[in-house]
Structures are given as C-alpha cells and as structure tokens.
C-alpha cells in the first residue's frame, strides 16, 4: 500500500474522532447589533518589491461596523498602487490575541470582500480581476488602546499598510 494512503487514513481517523463542536462557530449567524464603529485612515504603505509606477500614498478612508461578537462589515476607499480610485467592500472577524493592560489589546483581523478599481493597463496586476472586480482576503494584526486603533495590513505578496483610526 502506498505511503500516502496510510497518511490519508490517519488524517481521516483523526478528523472523525474530533469533537464536531471544535469546528462550529457558537455565535453564527452574527447578530445585527452594533457595538461600535471604527473610522480609519492610512499612515504608511510599503511595497515588498518597489516599482517606479507604485504610489505609496493611498489616502485610505474606511468605516467598519462591529457587533459585540467581533464580526464586522466595512467599506474602504483608497488610491491603489497605480493611483487609481479603488473600493474594497468587505466582511470579517477580529480575533483577540493578548491583553497587554486594561485598555490595551492586541488582536488579529481577517477580512474578505470585493475590490474594484484596478482598470485599464493595470487590470491584470491583481489576480481574478477579469471584470475589474476581484475577490480579496486581507489579514492584519493590530492594537486597540481605548478608542484608538492601529493595524498592520498585509495585501498579498505586494506590500503592507499601517492604518490608524478611532472607535465611536
């Protein structure tokens, strides 16, 4: 019997013996209750592989609506890497990582949504942008200190952005 069959059998056995509740989301579906609103802007952008065409001033403005269970929905407007106006409409979730002090928390965030704005000769600079609307998945790590929040967002293999905002 090939070695990978044994590996797949072990994986299937582990999966079947795992408690199903470990994979469920206890707060699904998300409640439509508003906990706070986050308004953000970009502070710094850097591309991992700089190109003379890249613009590092994104002028981001975003708004996120958060519920008490850490689910969120938002919209962001910014200038993309090629100075084109771009929209990102998304949903996601926050994941608490570490409480440094009473009002200082470190957390991760994962958002997914649709990106529109890479047009013309730059249409193929992001994957799956056949109709000038592309799916996007953005992980970030951030800190919240009272009403102030800041995030380090990684956008694929292209670069990163630091944002700051206020909770209301």
Per-residue pLDDT at 73: 97
* pTM across the whole model: 0.80
Per-residue pLDDT at 5: 47
pLDDT under 50 in the chain at which residues? Answer: 1, 3-5, 8, 20-22
Per-residue pLDDT at 4: 46
Per-residue pLDDT at 142: 97
The 3-class SS string of the chain reads CCHHHHHHHHHHHHHHHCCHHHHCCCCCCCCCCCCEEEEEEEEEEEECCCCCCCCCCCCCEEEEEECCCCEEEEEEEEECCCCCEEEEEEEEEEEEEEEEECCEEEEEEEEEEEEECCCHHHHHHCCCCCCCEEEEEEEEEEEEECCEEEEEEEECCCEEEEEEEEEC
């Amino acid at each position: 019997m090939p070695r990978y069959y044994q590996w797949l059998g072990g994986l299937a056995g582990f999966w079947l013996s795992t408690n199903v509740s470990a994979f469920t989301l206890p707060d699904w579906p998300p409640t439509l209750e508003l906990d706070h609103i986050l308004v953000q802007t970009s502070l710094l952008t850097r591309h991992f592989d700089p190109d003379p065409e890249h613009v590092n001033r994104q002028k981001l403005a975003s708004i996120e609506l958060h519920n008490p269970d850490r689910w969120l929905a938002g919209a962001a407007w910014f200038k993309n890497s090629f100075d084109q106006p771009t929209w990102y409409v998304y949903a996601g979730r926050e994941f608490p990582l570490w409480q440094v002090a009473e009002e200082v928390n470190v957390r991760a965030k994962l958002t997914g949504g649709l990106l529109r704005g890479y047009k013309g000769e730059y249409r193929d600079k992001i994957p799956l942008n056949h109709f000038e609307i592309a799916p996007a998945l953005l992980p970030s790590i951030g800190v919240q200190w009272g009403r102030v929040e800041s995030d380090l967002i990684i956008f694929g293999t292209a670069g990163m952005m630091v944002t700051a905002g206020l909770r209301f």
